[in-house]
Each structure stands twice: as structure tokens, then as C-alpha cells.
A and B are shown apart, each in its own frame.
Chain A
């Protein structure tokens, strides 16, 4: 199956800073999602982005399917952005493989 690697594993920022999270996947995908797991454990769907670029407020994501990576950009970070960010990808199967996540802490 598809292998998914996320980097960095941990990230600490000061409020207002920008950051880029990366997701590499080992094969072509037809589904690529970014999730944010909040401190209460809920996984919130940020982007469904098998290719191209999307933006939602201070967050944006880009997937370059031909080069097998996706990037999540967080601009002007806020303390509420803290949590774990997961990338999940699937190819021929509808079952996604999750990366191990990037743990983000934003200090005030």
C-alpha cells in the first residue's frame, strides 16, 4: 500500500509566525486529505486535495501529484492552531493511509 511520511514531526511557533507542513506519499493517489486534531481529539477535515491548490482563510494546501507530495501552509498562526496535523492518502483502494502527524504548538 501507499506509504505516507509527514515532516516535521514536531513544530513550535510563536503566535503570528508562518509555517509549512509537508506530506510525501509513495505512489499516485486519488484521495489526499489534511486533518487537524484538536486538543479534545476530534479530527477536523481541513482540505480534500488530491491535486492543485486550495485556500481557506489563513490555511492553504497544495498537492503536486506528479511529484508525490502535498504541503499545508499556515499563515499568521494562532494559539488555536495548536494540535496535530495529519495527512491521509489513498490510491486504488478507498482506504487511506495516515501519516504519523505533525504536532504543532503555538505559543502566545
Chain B
């Protein structure tokens, strides 16, 4: 079965500082990878998804970017954080066949101060 490692669990960063959140996957190869953000009020917003190394699709234009340097590594970045970037960030993966659905990482709670 696939396992997602996501770190750090919590992060407090000042406005204007850079951000790097990392997600790695075990137990599967060539997965689809996703970054979600959950703000207060519980809706899940898809930020980025990737079907392969170097392939990134953005769902919502904003102050964030994503990269996939290796098959099972997905990175969420920002050059300069805004207060509005605060939230709960979740990485997810799915198999290409889609037969087993999604698996989520444990999430990173980001507070921008």
C-alpha cells in the first residue's frame, strides 16, 4: 500500500519569508500527486497536481508554486509568503489506474505572521 510522508507538521513563518513543503511517497511508482489547501471553514482547495516528473498543473493562480523533481517527490514553494497563505496544506497521491482512490499525507499547518 502507498504511504505519504509530509513535513513539517507545523510551521510558523513571517510574512515575506520563503516556503518549502515536501511530500514523498512510498509503495507506488509513477503516481499522480496533488497539493491541497484547507482554510478555516473546512473546504479543500486543489492547488497543484502532477502526472509525472516535471509536469505541474496549477488549478488556482496564487503566490505558490510546485515542483516534482523525482517520481515520488512533490514540493510546494513560495518565494515570499503572504498572510493569506496561512492554512492547512495536504499532499495526496493516487494510482494512475484510479482504482484505489486517493491517499492523503498528515498535513502541514502553516501560520504566516
Contact = CB atoms under 8 A, between A and B. Distances in A.
Interface of A: 30-31, 33, 35, 37, 40-43, 45, 48, 84, 86, 88, 90, 94-96, 98, 100-101, 103
Contact of A100 (B42, B98, B106, B107): B42
Interface residues of B, number: 21
Contacts of A100: 42-43
A88 B45 CA distance: 12
Nearest to B51: A94
Given A43-B90, A45-B104, 5 more contacts: A33-B102, A45-B101, A94-B32, A98-B43, A103-B42
B100 A48 contact: yes
Interface of A is mostly: strand
Interface of B is mostly: strand
Interface in B85-113: 88, 90, 94, 98-104, 106-107, 109
